[in-house]
Amino acid sequence: MSQPSQTHLIVKFYSTNSPDTFVDLKEAVIRSLPADNGLYMPESIEPLPESFWENWREMPLAELGFHVAKQILGDSIPDSDLKEIVSEAINFDAPLVTIAPQTHILELFHGPTLAFKDFGARFMARTMAYLTKGDDKDLTILVATSGDTGGAVASAFHNVPGTRVIILYPKGGVSALQEKQLTTLGGNITALEVDGTFDDCQAMVKATFLDRELSLKYNLTSANSINISRLIPQSFYYFHAARQLPEGVLPTFVIPSGNFGNLTAGLLAEKLGLPVAHWIAATNINDTVPRYLAEGEYDPQPSHATISNAMDVGAPSNFARMKNLFGDSWEAMRESISGLAFSDDETREAIRAVNEGTGYTIDPHGAVGILAAEIWRQAVPDAETIILETAHPSKFLPTMEEELGAGNIEVPERLASLADLPKESHHVSKAPKEILKFLG
Ligand SMILES: *Cc1c(COP(=O)(O)O)cnc(C)c1O
């Protein structure tokens, strides 16, 4: 087949703090955090071409993902390699389940660690391995987790040659099974149990990165949702969800949010041309973004522990990207996104009500989304709400059993089998220097 001659498009990335300075994909992915403390963004995000929309509803999820990733990355990764990365990373489905009229649940928990973070972590691990192939130094991935990130990252990188992972998690801040997902793999995975909150863990990681010398010496990289390679694959499932609605129906996406990576990935999908009616940012009492949307004042607070612990974030790391996508305009952001926050009591009530009303078992994070969707539909009665179910309910077994009764929650085998494995972690204080002991 003869090809029209094409110039190769190597996409550059800028920092939200210095929009005029660019780096390439490898620098953005491996460095993860720019030296100026901003976040990397692709230089331009153009809508997908006409040819994509001709058969986007029929193509397999991995193929859809390839087209979406290609549109963001240009020729930074050759097509054949990018196809392989996407199809190995996204080897599970994300079905849309309608539980009541206008109430659709996007199940994002069909990956190996039963949470949506598998999408980002698996794509990132393969992209990092691809970009560093042939380099002489191992890559050390530092990651702070409030629950699911650590497990997804550990699983995605476990036994990947040339990499090792150091995970920081707040002591007592993750569920028993989540902790087992972090602490039972061994090999190239090390878990640090920190005397502090998730925000403390995140601050430790950030401080270590900002030390340029350390960062270079140990070839450090980050796997938090600040890494642009985690966001890209998360935009795939917004397309996949939308195409599971009848043709012409515009989705209102409801996103249970913590660090706002998921919502930011949705905004990328919209920039790529996905038609969306509205975005709802649903949070627990850690409501920094809903308060910002209501008042125009960005006022991050220390995080508070809740039953939807993966959203216990007081200073969401992707907020800088959200602002950037709306040209720093509060008015523009609140036209697209509405914020709603809920207490643990309301969340527990929703878990029970959904189960009684529809028979569906929703986890505490998804339940926050359900609450937001209900309120939104009172204001906009014809909204077709798609609620992201970000994790499988069995990951939060104690809370789920308190609401729905012991023995009533199905635990998938790949999670149940972890219970008997011994936990291996290192207990540390929240001083950033603690990380040094594990780098050498
Ligand atoms: C990480 C996580 C969230 C929050 O996602 P963000 O991208 O950080 O907003 C919500 N629910 C679950 C189960 C998660 O693991």
Pocket test for ligand 1, best of 113, 124, 148 (most atoms within 8 A of CB): 148
The CA 84 to ligand 1 mean position distance, Å, reads 26
Ligand 1 pocket check for 73: Cβ under 6 Å:
no
Q: Using a 6 Å cutoff on CB, does residue 225 contact ligand 1? A: yes
Q: With contact defined as beta carbons under 8 Å apart, do 244 and 96 qualify?
A: yes
Here the tokens at position 403 are 């609401």
DSSP state letters, 162-215: TEEEEEEEETTSS-HHHHHHHHS--TTEEEEEESS-HHHHHHHHHHHHH-HHHH
* Cα–ligand 1 centroid distance for 257 (angstroms): 6
Q: Which residues contact 75 (CB under 8 A, 6 or more apart)?
A: 8, 9, 10, 11
In ligand 1, which atom is closest to the CA atom of 391?
13
Q: Alpha-carbon dihedral of residues 148, 153, 154, 160, nearest 10 degrees? A: 160
With a 6 A CB cut-off, is 259 part of the ligand 1 pocket?
A: yes
CA distance 161 to 139: 9
Domain range summary for the chain, segments of one domain joined by +: 96-114+231-409
pLDDT in tens, the chain (440 residues): 444 445 667 889 999 999 888 999 999 999 888 888 899 999 989 999 999 999 999 999 999 999 999 999 999 999 999 999 999 999 999 999 999 999 999 999 999 999 999 999 999 999 999 999 888 889 999 999 877 788 899 999 998 888 999 999 999 988 888 899 999 999 999 999 999 998 899 899 989 988 889 988 998 988 876 899 999 999 999 999 999 999 999 999 999 999 999 999 999 999 999 999 999 999 999 999 999 999 999 999 998 999 998 899 999 989 999 999 999 999 999 999 999 999 999 999 999 999 999 999 999 999 999 999 999 999 999 999 999 999 999 989 999 999 999 999 999 998 889 889 999 999 999 999 999 999 97
User: Is residue 226 lining ligand 1, measured as CB closer than 6 Å?
Assistant: no
Distance CA 279, CA 391 (A): 20
* Ligand 1 atom, smallest distance to 313 CA: 8
CA angle, residues 435, 438, 440, in degrees to nearest 5: 115
User: Ligand 1 centroid vs 145 CA: distance in angstroms?
Assistant: 10
Report the top-level CATH class of 96-114+231-409.
alpha beta
- Given ligand 1 and candidates 178, 257, 363, 415, which is best to mutate, with the most ligand atoms within 8 Å of its CB? 257
Type and span of the H or E element at 19 = strand 18-23
The minimum-distance atom of ligand 1 relative to the CA of 256 is 10
Q: How far apart are the two ends of the chain, measured CA to CA in Å?
A: 53
Q: Which atom from ligand 1 is nearest to the alpha carbon of 265?
A: 7
Residues in the chain: 440
What values do phi and psi take at 20, rounded to 5?
A: -105, 0
The alpha-helical segments, DSSP class H, found in 243-359 are: 261-271, 288-295, 319-325, 330-336, 344-358
Is residue 115 in contact with ligand 1, taking CB distance under 6 Å? yes
Q: Is 108 in the pocket of ligand 1 (CB under 6 A)?
A: no
Task: Ligand 1 pocket test: pick from 308, 311, 318 the residue with the most ligand atoms within 8 Å of its Cβ.
Answer: 311
Task: Give the up-direction half-sphere exposure of residue 181: CA atoms within 13 A in the CB hemisphere.
Answer: 31
Indicate whether residue 288 lines ligand 1 (CB < 6 A).
no
Question: Which protein residue has the closest C-alpha to ligand 1 atom 2?
Answer: 310
Distance between Cα 213 and ligand 1 center (Å)? 31
Angle between helices 344-358 and 397-404 (to 10 degrees): 60
Which single residue is written with the structure tokens 């087992």?
180
Pick from 24, 17, 51, 257: nearest CA to 127: 24
Q: What is the rounded distance in angstroms from the CA atom of residue 347 to the CA atom of residue 370?
A: 9
Q: For helices 79-89 and 61-73, what crossing angle results, to 10°?
A: 130
* Ligand 1 centroid, distance to 91 Cα (angstroms): 20
Q: Yes or no: say if 140 and 220 are a contact pair by the CB < 8 Å rule.
A: yes
CA distance 341 to 350: 13
Alpha-carbon gap, residue 239 to 57, rounded angstroms: 9
Query: Is the C-alpha dihedral spanning 48, 53, 57, 59 positive or negative?
Result: negative
The finding on whether 261 has its CB within 6 A of some atom of ligand 1 is: yes
CB neighbours of residue 236 within 10 Å: 25
Q: What pLDDT score was predicted for residue 6?
A: 52
- How far apart are the C-alpha atoms of 161 and 149, rounded to whole Å? 20
The 3-state DSSP class for residue 257 equals coil
254 touches ligand 1 (CB under 6 Å):
no
Contact (Cβ atoms closer than 8 angstroms) between residue 296 and residue 330: yes
Distance CA 261, CA 368 (A): 17
Q: Is 141 in contact with 222 (CB distance < 8 Å)? A: yes
In the reported structure, the alpha carbon of residue 246 is separated from the centroid of ligand 1 by a whole-number distance in angstroms of 27
